[in-house]
Amino acid sequence: MNDKCHLELTHVNIDFPTDTGPFRALEDVSLKIDKGEFITLIGHSGCGKSTVLNIVAGLHRATAGGVILNGREVVEPGPERAVVFQNHSLLPWLSTYENVELGVKQVFKGKKSRAEMRDWIEHNLELVHMSHARDKRPDEISGGMKQRVGIARALAMQPEVLLMDEPFGALDALTRAHLQDSLMEIHASLGNTVIMITHDVDEAVLLSDRIVMMTNGPAATIGEVLHIQLERPRERLALADDARYNHYRSNVLKFLYERQKRPEESGEADDAAAPGTDDPREDVKPENIALRVVGS
């Protein structure tokens, strides 16, 4: 780990105005991230993960505290903090190529020639294995392909920080595994700093340098940070039998389903509080755990 900190969230609070007064979504979120680090944010839905990401992106302003990137405060969105949105957010009227081009033209205006830009766009489509669909519109390609294009659009902006909000959430297990592998390759070769939100414990362990686990809202904050000390490149099949891998995995599961039970779940548990059913594994409901690809 470098001693020079790259991206820092300091005591971030955010209040959303609502009809019944301000709603405190995040309280005292602090995190230091090194250059090239891969961070995943995990937590129950509605806890405030997207809000954290949006604050780093500059799409939301923190009510108190703030974000520093390379010594400068983040006050607005910018292409050095590219976002891969949860629902891909491609422009439906543009082709794959044009969607990537939109960002490239904006970022490299005056820095790259036309031909260089074209090569750069094609290179990025190549990275996510989408060159074959360069002239297709978003509604002509599958969900996984759209996510790939979304990633290519973000990568092509040559961002220092890549922010991804559940990028693979809506994909089937096989496609997701493919994209995870691509993402690891790309991260290994480009070394961007990545903050990624996920629901999938296996995905988090497989990809991350650190897993940041968030407590339930309101006033959510960082509950625990788990260092994943598995050497790279990581190989999903080999990891399946790795004791450390399973240890990390169960750590995250314990955090999510023991220490941060969802309110409605703890309510249920209270109602049906029959003595002797306090086995924590009861709360690890299968529907709460994303599909396991690794080693399954």
Q: Minimum distance between the CB of residue 245 and other proteins, rounded to whole angstroms?
A: 34
* Separation CA 296–CA 200 (nearest Å): 14
Identify which of residues 31 and 107 has a Cβ nearer to Mg ion in the complex: 31
Which listed range, 20-28, 37-45, 53-61, 123-131, lies at the site for other proteins (CB under 8 A)? Answer: 53-61
Torsion of CA 256, 260, 266, 270, to 10 degrees: 110
Identify which of residues 49 and 148 has a Cβ nearer to ligand ADP in the complex: 49
Q: Which two tokens stand for residue 123?
A: 């290179």
Q: Please say whether the beta carbons of 188 and 233 come within 8 A.
A: yes
Residue 143 in the binding site for ligand ADP (CB under 6 A):
no
Angle at 162 between CA 158 and CA 166, to 5 degrees: 140
Q: Please say whether the beta carbons of 200 and 30 come within 8 A.
A: no
Among 7, 33, 39, 49, binds ligand ADP (CB under 6 A): 49
Which listed range, 15-23, 145-153, 185-193, 266-274, lies at the site for ligand ADP (CB under 6 A)? Answer: 15-23
Residue 92 partner contact from Mg ion, other proteins, ligand ADP, none using kind-dependent CB cut-offs of 5 to 8 Å: other proteins
Instruction: Give me the phi and psi of 4, to 5 degrees please.
Output: -80, 115
Q: Please say whether the beta carbons of 213 and 31 come within 8 A.
A: no
Instruction: Give me the phi and psi of 255, to 5 degrees please.
Output: -60, -50
Residue 47 partner contact from other proteins, ligand ADP, Mg ion, none using kind-dependent CB cut-offs of 5 to 8 Å: ligand ADP
Q: Which of residues 27-46 bind ligand ADP (CB under 6 A)?
A: 43, 45-46
Q: Which of residues 212-271 bind ligand ADP (CB under 6 A)?
A: 217
Residue 51 in the binding site for ligand ADP (CB under 6 A):
yes
Q: Please say whether the beta carbons of 95 and 136 come within 8 A.
A: yes
Residue 24 in the binding site for ligand ADP (CB under 6 A):
no
Q: Where are the beta strands (DSSP E) in the chain?
A: 7-18, 21-33, 38-42, 64-69, 72-73, 81-84, 161-165, 193-197, 210-214, 222-227
Q: Minimum distance between the CB of residue 9 and ligand ADP, rounded to whole angstroms?
A: 14
Identify which of residues 25 and 161 has a Cβ nearer to ligand ADP in the complex: 25
Residue 136 in the binding site for other proteins (CB under 8 A):
no
Residue 16 in the binding site for ligand ADP (CB under 6 A):
yes
Q: Please say whether the beta carbons of 204 and 43 come within 8 A.
A: no
User: How many other C-beta atoms lie within 10 A of the C-beta of residue 6?
Assistant: 18
Which listed range, 1-9, 103-111, 114-122, 214-222, lies at the site for other proteins (CB under 8 A)? Answer: 103-111
Residue 158 in the binding site for other proteins (CB under 8 A):
no
Quick check: helix, strand or coil at residue 87?
A: coil
In one-letter notation, the amino acid at residue 135 is D
Among 37, 41, 50, 211, binds Mg ion (CB under 5 A): 50
Q: Minimum distance between the CB of residue 279 and Mg ion, rounded to whole angstroms?
A: 30
Q: Please say whether the beta carbons of 54 and 224 come within 8 A.
A: no
Contact positions toward ligand ADP, by CB under 6 A? 16, 18, 23, 25, 43, 45-51, 217
Contact positions toward other proteins, by CB under 8 A? 57-59, 76-79, 81-83, 85, 87, 89, 91-94, 102-103, 106-107, 137, 139, 157
